[in-house]
Structure 1
Amino acid sequence: MELTNDTRNRSGYAEVSGVKLNYIIVQETGKPVESVRADVLKNDLRIGTVKIEKDGRMYISLDKAGITEPLDQIAIISQAINDSAQVFNESVTD
């Protein structure tokens, strides 16, 4: 059999400022992670999404959040950036 695609799917989470960042990481075997996506959950309901790409692009949506405190917003975004940086700095899987 000839494989056309071989990927590794990972998930994880972090809790910060009363929300849960539910991470989804898809990585092609033998290649570095290119992006990290997280659903922002509050009381198990999705209230936003954060996607951070290795090249520095970021997409942040806290569309249903009601998170208006700047320190909470900073904490959530900082957590996502730090967690993504950790993933981007991991060794490539074989």
Structure 2
Amino acid sequence: MRHYSCDRCKRVLDPQEDLRYVVRLEVQAVMEPINDNELADDRDHLCEIEEILERSDDEMNEAIGNDVYQKKSFDLCCDCYRTYIQNPLGREPKVSLNFSQN
């Protein structure tokens, strides 16, 4: 039997009793052309990047670093899911000042 726990609060999740949410993150670097005049190059840079990313599943490929591509998965309990879905980027809440309408 597999054992699950919430990756945020570390609560043990019972697969028979508890609802579990899986958050999958895929982060990849996007390389934009530096100069529009260089677009005359016949190379398909997007195709090359896609080929590199497809090969990234190979653990032995050292050409891809964590700063170029990462893929992660997290298990969340119901409470942590609700917190996460309200603010997935973890931004600080905006402070709103309620001034009177003088």
Tell me whether the two structures share a fold, i.e. TM-score over 0.5.
no
Which structure dedicates a bigger proportion of its chain to helix? 2
- Choose 1 or 2 for highest CA Rg: 2
TM-score, with normalisation over the residues of structure 1? 0.28
Which structure dedicates a bigger proportion of its chain to strand? 1
- Structure with greater contact order relative to length (CA < 8 Å, sep ≥ 6): 2
